[in-house]
A and B are shown apart, each in its own frame.
Chain A
Amino acid sequence: ETGVTQSPTHLIKTRGQQVTLRCSSQSGHNTVSWYQQALGQGPQFIFQYYREEENGRGNFPPRFSGLQFPNYSSELNVNALELDDSALYLCASSAKGGSSSGNTIYFGEGSWLTVV
C-alpha cells in the first residue's frame, strides 16, 4: 500500500464526453503529478501540482486540465475525449521537492479509462 488512492478504478466513456479522475495523495505530500500510460508503454507526464498551483506540464493539449485542493488531493479532467485517450492514468505524490530531491514518489493503482 502506497497511501495514494485513485478513483474510479475503471470506467468507460464515449468519444466527446468529459471525465474526471480523482487522487488522494499520501498524508503530508504536497506535490501531485499525473501520468498517462498507454498499453505497453511507459508513463507520460501530463502535469504536476504543488500547493494548489500547476508546477509543470508535459506535451498534452489544453483539454487535459487539473486541480489540487487545500488537502492536496487532486483531480484530472479530460474534455472532448478521443479514442487515443484510452489508457491507465496514474497519480503520484511526493513530499516537497518532488522527484529532483530524491524523495520517494508513490504511485496510486491508477484509473483505467476506455474511450469507445
Chain B
Amino acid sequence: KNQVEQSPQSLIILEGKNCTLQCNYTVSPFSNLRWYKQDTGRGPVSLTIMTFSENTKSNGRYTATLDADTKQSSLHITASQLSDSASYICVVSANSGYSTLTFGKGTMLLVSP
C-alpha cells in the first residue's frame, strides 16, 4: 500500500529561525514528489516538484531535498516569517497507468513572533 509519513506532526518556531520538515514514503512506482503549503481552510499551493533524478529544488526560502534511494524528502524553511504558519504536505505521485497522488497528513507549522 502506498504511504507517505511526515514528521513532526506539528512544530512551533520563533520568527526568523530555520526549520526542517521530514517526509518518508513507500510509493511505487515512484514518479515525483511534491511539497504543498496549505493555509487553514484553503486549498494547497504548490511549493516544489522533484522527479527521481533531482535531489534538491528551491523556491525562495523553501528548499526541498529528495533521496530516492532511502525514499526520504525534507523541506527546509529559511528565515521563517509569520506568514509561513500553515500545514506543509508532502505528496508523492505514482506512475500507475493513471496519475494519482498519495498525500501525507502534513506538518502543522506555527511561526511565533
- Measured CB to CB, the residues of A under 8 A from B are 2, 4, 31, 33, 35, 40-45, 48, 50, 55-56, 58, 88, 90, 94, 97-102, 104-110, 112
Task: Assess the A99–B45 pair: CB atoms within 8 A.
Answer: no
Interface majority SS (helix, strand, loop, mixed), chain A: mixed
Task: Assess the B99–A97 pair: CB atoms within 8 A.
Answer: yes
Of all chain A residues, the one with the shortest Cβ separation from B97 is A56
Of all chain A residues, the one with the shortest Cβ separation from B42 is A109
Q: Does B100 contact A (CB under 8 A)?
A: yes
Which B residues lie within 8 Å of A101 (CB)? 99
Interface residue from A4, A100, A106, A109 paired with B99 (Cβ < 8 Å)? A100
Min CB–CB distance A80 → chain B (angstroms): 26
Which A residues lie within 8 Å of B56 (CB)? none
Question: What is the number of residues of chain B that contact chain A, defined by CB distance less than 8 Å?
Answer: 28
Task: Assess the B98–A112 pair: CB atoms within 8 A.
Answer: no
Task: Assess the A100–B31 pair: CB atoms within 8 A.
Answer: yes
Task: Assess the A44–B98 pair: CB atoms within 8 A.
Answer: no
Of all chain B residues, the one with the shortest Cβ separation from A105 is B46
Of all chain A residues, the one with the shortest Cβ separation from B102 is A45
Among B63-71, B77-85, B87-95, which stretch is in contact with chain A?
B87-95
Which A residues lie within 8 Å of B104 (CB)? 42
Task: Assess the A107–B31 pair: CB atoms within 8 A.
Answer: no
Which B residues lie within 8 Å of A99 (CB)? 31-32, 34, 93, 99-101
Question: If the complex has contacts A99-B93, A100-B93, A102-B32, are A90 and B101 also in contact, measured as CB distance less than 8 A?
Answer: no
Task: Assess the B105–A48 pair: CB atoms within 8 A.
Answer: no
Which B residues lie within 8 Å of A33 (CB)? 99-101
Min CB–CB distance A50 → chain B (angstroms): 8
Given known contacts A45-B101, A90-B44, A101-B99, what 10 new A-B pairs fall within 8 Å (CB)? A33-B101, A42-B4, A55-B98, A56-B98, A56-B99, A98-B98, A102-B31, A105-B101, A109-B42, A110-B43
